[in-house]
Structure 1
């Protein structure tokens, strides 16, 4: 089953999700043509005619035709009729499901958790196996439906069935790179839905926490959800939950995911002070200290520390918790991560901030072998910025030591 030519947007070449027509008579997907216009183009992409009017008129006729085609598509229905191997859902696995039936089952309050889980598996398979399937699920609003399913009330009831919640989040994250994320704004700005997010972050199992952290990262890095990212980043409950997840010693993937989420939220400057007050600096220090080997997200953890120390409140907080263990961890990371990323640069930046304010920190850094690490780094193939900061730290240590010698 292929997408008819007339149902494809001339810009994205994907199935129309929100067809709109320009004054030239050409139809485009709203998201694609809006992006075209926002980039400063004042011509029709197909005809190259000058646009005397940029009004976008919804093409309801085309949208209706696409919806009918999607719902009647025999190729899709054949895919949906196939039961999952090993499914124990009985008659539900043998039902001749249509997309409309799938939606009804997910929306139904009387449907069992097992039947909904079966539907979610079919939805996930359809998304992964077929371009047309992906277009269908987007067009028919399954992303919004999944949001409502995940953040429904009462949340504790869904938390009792963690497999269903895991599947729902898995589908949601699979959808998110290809969908407009505006519907997240409509759902998570509601107090009761937001409370569900906080509950799942604090009480969900490892898979649920990882998925939610990835969702928060997506929200923080998407232009259409920046206001929501600020709301989330300003929540003390969310930040405390993420800091708590950072301290997971049993599952490295969970703590790595928390670093990614905090990094995303702290990319917005307005969220940084709340992150500091929520214990992010202490949590990141523990994250970096809780392993004898490199963690996947260590460079990002160092990057967050670096940006939080740009604030005076961050420097004061770090000074309160600084100890020789932290200095050793930072020194260890100088050369450990230099070959693959910018982790070295951030580790040096943090040491510069600490050593510039404290003679104790300078002494501990020297005792931990920082000079040797910096000299090795300068001779390596790391970035020029990392080398510049390494030289700056060496100069700082040398100048401070000379002053001490003169006093003696």
Structure 2
């Protein structure tokens, strides 16, 4: 290692050139959100092991993204050249060959072997490259083997986490989604969903994200959506994980899963029953919610508004209606379309008086007029025209004489 070679030459390595984890000279320094710099391979292993803290400060990481520290990299390179030594990469575990991973998978399927060690090797192999993930996904019997462990809960949360993580890594390479759906949802007593619930309740953030991704992936049709929706505890847990204090990526994936399974009316009603409106209200009134989370939250709101129960709960909360209106033109075109569709549904299609009053009090008329002169889609423009007709009738202001064909707002 570099530090040993330098010691032999009686040359001192600057402390800030060393990775705090490996204590070797860094080859590819990257900085976390805490400002601490590590060698890329060392911190990646730390994060891949499920840790969500900065190793040096033990601060909780709000994001696991890191950025290259190019200045430090240049300094290390200059120093290395000055002592005529090439900086070697930190010692890392040897990369498994395909023969070795085949052996690990064989051991995984054998009783009495170190299954946890085998699945850990498999996960690391999948994380190593896109090519490896494709190899595993196409390997005959690999995906059914993983699912078989979900269908036979052994009580080890850590093992279940590794299984779901492995599934999540190869999802995009699986060609037969129908086969995976059948394996997961048509097993004995659907224990796979129970295993996934265990991970959602007790697993790490990354394994919870993987679980939500797998559930969304297999939500192919009404049958699969209804089968997942039958497990009310499962969808309740997904909803509980979509709260402002959770990891943004976790919120996004849980909402995406709920959107995917919410198409059947039975599931829509179940979501309303377990409190989806109140949960979404918290997300939409939070100022720091990401664009993708807002889009998916508004999509769920739109879905809930298609039921009388959802509309009733929604319209009882004027602040919630105002929060939906507030997202118009402020987030993205997708968010705007979902918000306008919801407002059109409750105010125009179903003529809810409370919703109309809430929109009026929140200066909704101005928003609608602005929307009509914006570069919105024809569908959104038509819904705004319909909404304006409602408010022209109800409004006692000068806006009651506003002509819907006008494409601008008068400055007086």
Scaled by the length of structure 1, the TM-score of the pair is: 0.65
Where 2:153 maps in the other structure, the secondary structure is coil
- Cα gap change, 1:94/1:253 in structure 2, threshold over 3 Å: closer, same or farther? closer
> Paired residue for 1:315, among 295, 311, 316?
311
> Paired residue for 1:111, among 106, 109, 114?
114
1:153 counterpart residue number: 153
- Cα gap change, 1:103/1:334 in structure 2, threshold over 3 Å: closer, same or farther? same
Asked if 1 retains the 8 angstrom alpha-carbon contact of 2:96 and 2:125, the reply is no
Q: CA deviation at 1:196?
A: 0.9
Q: Distance in 2 between matches of 1:349 and 1:372?
A: 17
> Paired residue for 1:367, among 361, 380, 394?
361
Q: Describe the superposition over 1:157-210 as per-residue Cα deviations: whole angstroms up to 9, x where unpaired.
A: 1x145763464243342443x234324323333333221122222222221221
Aligned pairs (5 A) from 1:323-342: 323-324=318-319, 326-338=320-332, 340-341=333-334
1:33 counterpart residue number: none
1:80 counterpart residue number: none
Q: Distance in 2 between matches of 1:318 and 1:305?
A: 9
Asked if 1 retains the 8 angstrom alpha-carbon contact of 2:368 and 2:384, the reply is yes
- Cα gap change, 1:105/1:124 in structure 2, threshold over 3 Å: closer, same or farther? farther
2:393 counterpart residue number: 399
Q: Distance in 2 between matches of 1:348 and 1:228?
A: 30
Q: CA deviation at 1:316?
A: 2.2
Q: Distance in 1 between matches of 2:148 and 2:311?
A: 41
2:184 counterpart residue number: 187
Q: CA deviation at 1:237?
A: 1.0
2:171 counterpart residue number: 173
- Cα gap change, 1:331/1:292 in structure 2, threshold over 3 Å: closer, same or farther? farther
2:198 counterpart residue number: 199
Asked if 2 retains the 8 angstrom alpha-carbon contact of 1:374 and 1:394, the reply is yes
Out of 208-217 and 278-287, give the one that drifted further.
278-287
- Whichever structure has more helix as a proportion of its residues is 1
Asked if 2 retains the 8 angstrom alpha-carbon contact of 1:147 and 1:172, the reply is no
Q: Describe the superposition over 1:305-324 as per-residue Cα deviations: whole angstroms up to 9, x where unpaired.
A: 2232222222223234x132
Residue 247 of structure 2 corresponds to residue 251 of structure 1: yes
Where 2:120 maps in the other structure, the secondary structure is helix
Asked if 1 retains the 8 angstrom alpha-carbon contact of 2:302 and 2:338, the reply is yes
Residue 93 of structure 2 corresponds to residue 87 of structure 1: yes
Where 2:327 maps in the other structure, the secondary structure is helix
Residue 337 of structure 2 corresponds to residue 345 of structure 1: yes
- Cα gap change, 1:317/1:148 in structure 2, threshold over 3 Å: closer, same or farther? same
2:3 counterpart residue number: none
Q: CA deviation at 1:359?
A: 4.2
- Cα gap change, 1:330/1:99 in structure 2, threshold over 3 Å: closer, same or farther? closer
Q: Distance in 1 between matches of 2:151 and 2:355?
A: 47
Asked if 1 retains the 8 angstrom alpha-carbon contact of 2:164 and 2:211, the reply is no
Q: Distance in 2 between matches of 1:101 and 1:393?
A: 64
1:142 counterpart residue number: 142
Where 2:376 maps in the other structure, the secondary structure is coil
Q: CA deviation at 1:238?
A: 1.7
1:11 counterpart residue number: none
Q: CA deviation at 1:399?
A: 0.9
Structure 2 gap ranges (5+): 1-89, 401-412
2:371 counterpart residue number: 377
- Cα gap change, 1:293/1:376 in structure 2, threshold over 3 Å: closer, same or farther? farther
Structure 1 gap ranges (5+): 1-83
Q: Describe the superposition over 1:312-354 as per-residue Cα deviations: whole angstroms up to 9, x where unpaired.
A: 222223234x132x1331121111235x32x223212322344
Q: CA deviation at 1:124?
A: 4.9
Where 1:335 maps in the other structure, the secondary structure is coil
